[in-house]
Amino acid sequence: MTSLNGAEALVRMLQAHGVRHIFGLCGDTSLPFYDALARLDHGMQHILTRDERSAAYMADGYARVARRPGICEGPSGGGATYILPGVVEANESSVPVLAITTDIATTSRGRYTLTELDQGALFRPLTKWNGTANAAADIPRLVRAAFSAMTTGRSGAAHLCVPFDAQKGALDDAELYADPAVAAYPARRSGADPGDVLRAVALLTSMPNKLVIAGGGVVLSGAEPELAEFARLTQAVVATTISGQGSLAETDPACAGVVGSNGGTRETRALVDMADLVIFVGCRAGSVTTERRRHPAPDAARVIHIDADAAVIGANYRTDVGLVGDAKLVLRQLSDALAAQTAFDLPSRLNPRAVADAKARKRAAFLQLALSDAHPIRPERVVHELREVLPPEAIVIADPGTPCPYLSAHFEVRATGRRLFSNRAHGALGYSMAAAVGAHFAAPGTPVVAMMGDGSFGFTAGELETLVRHRVPVVMVVISNATFGWIKAGQKSGFGERYFSVDFGRTDHAAVAAAYGVRSWRVEDPQALRPALRAALECGAPALVDVICQPLHEASAPVSEWVA
């Protein structure tokens, strides 16, 4: 046996679990960990960020694309509190992110030591798993537990606190092993009860108007092929939540697109209301997806609910059949059971042309705005031009403000998998630029675009230096309208247009980006937009396109609360 210190053990345990990238920010309490990363031959790349929030968002974007846990780290005190927003987002979005925070020595607790706080209490209610290594010997066991928790069942975030003296303490290498089964997600999948499967099949073969609402659990599970086969067998229409985009290509004739209050339209809403059987798959059926339980209305349709988390089944709707299990396995179980019933007479889809007609009407309404040469540029025009220049395999990441509803409703994802996503759980600004960095390291040969409002840009502009230092060829598109547009639109629709404390000065984002060394374009003319986007994509370096856009409260955003 060989003796090593706790920091070295932490590095070796991450290496043993197949970690390739770590996103983080240095601090006094992390010095032993950084020293171990510097000395040891481990094959991992550390990406120094300018903000711990960004480190967590990078790990989140990395995990969504790489299908492996994302790793972020930060020091004690402010580092732990700054990293927390990204950890909460990942956990509520069922994204496996491990946040490692270092801490003051255990012998310094209760002595008014600088940066002291109870990290365990801080992270406990906001993570799936939370642990503190009070001694070096705890580290291997806790890292294994963190990976197991993150990747099994409903995946989520984990937090590991490593005090300074635990990093310096000695242990032997006998405990330095990992279970490769939990190095990626989902791990140790489970299927549904066979009796529940047969009950679901009975409903599927008796109800004529079937609609699948596919949530983020489909993409997390990698169940896209199984969903396509299930839709073919059942003749079901497939709609998605925002997080579920990519479950089925939106060019597929069976795919209706996004439903819900953020990104849904009257056309997709009508398809939901026509269904007499709704199958929720990897979807919580929450307030945005169901427009606060209005579409579908309670008891308007029979319900089958598939989810890895038993707690979500029946939480919002009376459920006829609940199937607890991994989406990939459960959909395969259903398809196999359906295929075995060779003599069944399956009722036809809603209306053979319902989906095509709804999509055509939605597209026509969109193009009326998207082809406008109005000044300032309409957000629809930005989505249209971006869709025209990007290849199907591109990854687009939207901040939750102005970009999210437009992209969700109208971008039209042409491939399955993580092609378009946003931080939908808590909706904090400043996500997309950082998450795009993580997505790039997860899929370095794939075009990545981060689309943000100017409010979000202000949260995260410091990471422009990170992109330049690592030569990350992400294209950033800023919707510049000098306001916190989502809030201003809410003040217009619900508070008598009493606008208060939502407007700010216009920033020349292109000039800011250029000062960091980012290639940049400022666009005010709609005709100049496509050439600028194409040049940004082709430059092979960090690039930013600053688009002077119509404010959200003046636009026709696909957000049901704002539509009379």
296 prior amide bond cis, ω within 30: yes
Distances (CA, A) of 406 to 80, 379, 403: 34, 7, 6
Residue 432's pLDDT is 97
Residues of the chain with CATH 3.40.50.1220: 194-354
Residues of the chain with CATH 3.40.50.970: 3-182, 371-562
Which pLDDT tens digit goes with each residue over 7-57? 999 999 999 999 999 999 999 999 999 999 999 999 999 999 999 999 999
Dist CA 440 CA 400 (whole Å): 20
Residue 1's pLDDT is 67
Dist CA 327 CA 333 (whole Å): 10
> CATH assignment of 371-562?
3.40.50.970
Find tokens 């009070």 and name the residue: 134
Dist CA 216 CA 242 (whole Å): 8
Residue 549's pLDDT is 94
Cβ of 406: how many Cβ atoms within 10 Å? 29
Q: Which residues, in sequence order, are bridge partners of residue 377?
A: 549
Which pLDDT tens digit goes with each residue over 373-406? 999 999 999 999 999 999 999 999 999 888 888 9
Positive/negative CA dihedral, 397, 402, 404, 408: negative
Residue 352's pLDDT is 60
The answer to whether 409 touches 361, Cβ cutoff 8 Å, is no
Residue 245 DSSP symbol: T
Residue 224's pLDDT is 98
Residue 43 DSSP symbol: -
3-state SS record for 125-145: HHCCEEEECCCHHHHHHHHHH
Q: Report, as ranges of residue numbers, the positions in the chain whose pLDDT lies below 50.
A: none
Residue 152's pLDDT is 97
Residue 347's pLDDT is 58
Rg (CA), the chain: 24
3-state SS record for 529-548: HHHHHHHHHHCCCCEEEEEE
- Helix or strand (DSSP H, E) at 232: helix 224-234
Residue 255 DSSP symbol: E
Q: Which residues, in sequence order, are bridge partners of residue 523?
A: 547
Looking at residue 175, its amino acid is E
Task: Annotate 171-231 with DSSP letters as a single string.
Answer: EEGGG----GGGSSSSBS-----HHHHHHHHHHHTT-SSEEEEE-HHHHHHT-HHHHHHHH
Q: Which CATH superfamily is domain 194-354 in?
A: TPP-binding domain (3.40.50.1220)
- Helix or strand (DSSP H, E) at 455: helix 454-460
The answer to whether 421 touches 89, Cβ cutoff 8 Å, is no
- CATH architecture of the domain covering 3-182: 3-Layer(aba) Sandwich (3.40)
69 prior amide bond cis, ω within 30: no
Helix, strand or coil for residue 306? Answer: strand
